[in-house]
Amino acid sequence: GKTQRPRWTCSQRLRQRVYGQANVKWMGTPINELKRLPECGGPLPPLKDIRGMHTVMIRTDLLRKGKVPVPYPAVFEDTWDDVHVKMPCSSSNLFPVEDKVYVSTSIYSRSSVRSQTTRSKMPQPVFGLRQVKVNGSLALSKVLEPDAAESLFDSLLPDMVQLALRASELCTKAMPLLKAGMTHSITMSQEQVACLLANAFFCTFPRRNSRSKEYWNYPDINFVRLFESSSSRKIEKLKTIMCYFESITERMPTGLVTFTRKRLGKPPDWKRSIRLTKLHITCEGTIEDDGYGMLQVDFANQFVGGGVTSSGLVQEEIRFLINPELIASRLFTEALDDNDCLIITGTEQYSKYTGYAQTYQWSGRHHDATPRDAWQRRCTEIVAIDALQFRNFLEQFHPCKINRELNKAYCGFARPEVQKEELAAVATGNWGCGVFGGDTRLKALLQMLAAAEAGRDVAYFTFGDSQLMTDVHNIHSFLTLNNITVGEVYGLLQQYYSSVCKSCHSRRPDVSLYSFIYRQVRSLPGAR
């Protein structure tokens, strides 16, 4: 079918007339007309620990702007079971070491061995990393200027050791594992997150250096795999992570971060007559920069963070690197199910970067000026939603796959407890495309449907794909102009599968999804 002529604003038409369509960088609603936090947000309820719903790890009565929060309780809760995080400072954390005198195996508390590292500036090779000459740090030192390398070994690493050793002082409350089927939040200070990440760097979390039976369904948290080689990718990752540690050891941030695993109860009725919301679409900019104050989508792996602690370096891994506090979620978040998501509120961006995947490079410190909310969290809300992976292109158009992706996106976007007028726009892009095999035009449409059902506008970043920008804008304008509802688009998706995909004998159908929608809608009485 023909492509519907886009409905542009006056400024867009003028630019198109003067420069030509190739120079149009955005379409639809101007981005400054979309809602952002904190401006659109309503008042937050009091922050409090709620048994079975919300674990709060600080003294809320002592929470003050600009002051490092006080841990709660005052004394470390030594919990060692299958529903809480096993901490490296626990008295139950035991492991064998070789007695140099008797050449026999004895059992020592890791915490007592770890305390020996305070005797020298450099930590000794006693756990996790076989040689905390630290393979990754040695590799990193090779590409640093001499002064920077000296600072790494004489100052930064010892400071990180001291931070890691404060686990029993800072992370006193037992942290629940966010298991499949749960809806639960954990709120902790940025200082507590930093302590957890220092322990992850030194690989101290017990039973997590390999995918044990106990943690087979959890992401890696210890940085073991990051130190396995000195590839250029891992060097740039380490530069980014060390930038974080350098920043927080110089000046500890004073805010809070909330990690929420959310389970979708009853899925929405996708046949309902709900209108599409506003769309801003651009081939320039990024979710993290231009989508500030919006609900920012992490194109997640089922194991949140994907390959951030190994060799992965695409959208999700990059976001976890520049906002390293996200990595802490890997400590306690079990693999995501089809009907849940992870929402992280309050993380800070510490690094700038250029490139993507093989071309990724750390490019210096970033000063995050994002305002804080009443709970002293940065107004940065990131939602991790994992898309399905498709080996067969046609498979993704099957109704059950469509339902799964719609429900997953809706789970991430919906906040039934919040008034619609207080919801920020969704900042997203090509979710589940690339190596996951998703069709960009289908995924854009599904996210627009889910956002409309959730009552949010959409800011869509095509990452340089100007043709996709035009196509998605055109279909959105066409559907809006003809008052086509979410339910009607959902019906068209089912028709497309039954009449085009089901009988298709090649890898890709002859009729594209958007062409099919144009043709079907134009056949309706009164269509424009």
- Residue 8: how many other CB atoms lie within 10 Å: 17
Q: Which of 317, 373, 453, 488 is catalytic?
A: 317
Tell me the DSSP string of 60-118: GGG--TTSPPPBSSSS-----STTBPPPTT-TT-EEEEE-TTT--EEEEEHHHHHHGGG
Q: 3-state DSSP call for residue 176?
A: strand
**What gap in Å lies between CA 444 and CA 448, rounded to an integer?**
6
- Whether the upstream peptide bond of residue 509 has omega within 30° of 0, thus cis, is no
Beta strands per DSSP E along 424-498: 426-429, 458-461
298 is catalytic: yes
- Residue 9: how many other CB atoms lie within 10 Å: 13
**What gap in Å lies between CA 504 and CA 500, rounded to an integer?**
6
Tell me the DSSP string of 354-415: ES-GGG-EEEEE------B-TTS-BS-EEEEEEPPP-SSGGGGGSHHHHHHHHHHHHHHH--
316 is catalytic: yes
Question: Does the annotation list 339 as a binding residue?
Answer: no
Tell me the DSSP string of 233-267: HHHHHHHHHHHHHHHHHHS----EEEEEEEE--SP
Question: Does the annotation list 483 as a binding residue?
Answer: no
317 is catalytic: yes
Is residue 137 within a helix (H) or strand (E), and if so which, with residue range?
Answer: helix 135-142
Q: Which of 236, 288, 316, 348 is catalytic?
A: 316
Residues ≥6 apart with Cβ < 8 Å to 13: none
**What gap in Å lies between CA 340 and CA 216, rounded to an integer?**
19
Provide long-range contacts, Cβ within 8 A and 24+ apart, for 133-142.
Answer: 134/227, 135/227, 135/228, 135/230, 136/223, 136/226, 136/227, 136/230, 136/234, 136/238, 137/238, 138/230, 139/229, 139/230, 139/234, 139/235, 139/238, 140/235, 140/238, 140/239, 140/242, 142/230
Question: Does the annotation list 12 as a binding residue?
Answer: no
**Structural contact between residues 496 and 462, judged by C-beta atoms closer than 8 angstroms:** no
Of the candidates 413, 426, 487, 418, the one whose C-alpha atom is nearest the C-alpha of residue 454 is 413
Q: Which of 191, 298, 405, 457 is catalytic?
A: 298
DSSP code of residue 178: B
**51: alpha, beta or left, given left = phi > 0 and alpha = psi -120 to 50?**
beta
Residues ≥6 apart with Cβ < 8 Å to 524: 482
Residues ≥6 apart with Cβ < 8 Å to 303: 218, 219, 330, 335, 336
Is residue 186 within a helix (H) or strand (E), and if so which, with residue range?
Answer: strand 184-189
**Structural contact between residues 202 and 160, judged by C-beta atoms closer than 8 angstroms:** yes
Residues marked as catalytic? 298, 316-317
Q: Which residues are annotated as a binding site?
A: 301, 315, 356
Q: Which residues are annotated as a binding site for substrate?
A: 301, 315, 356
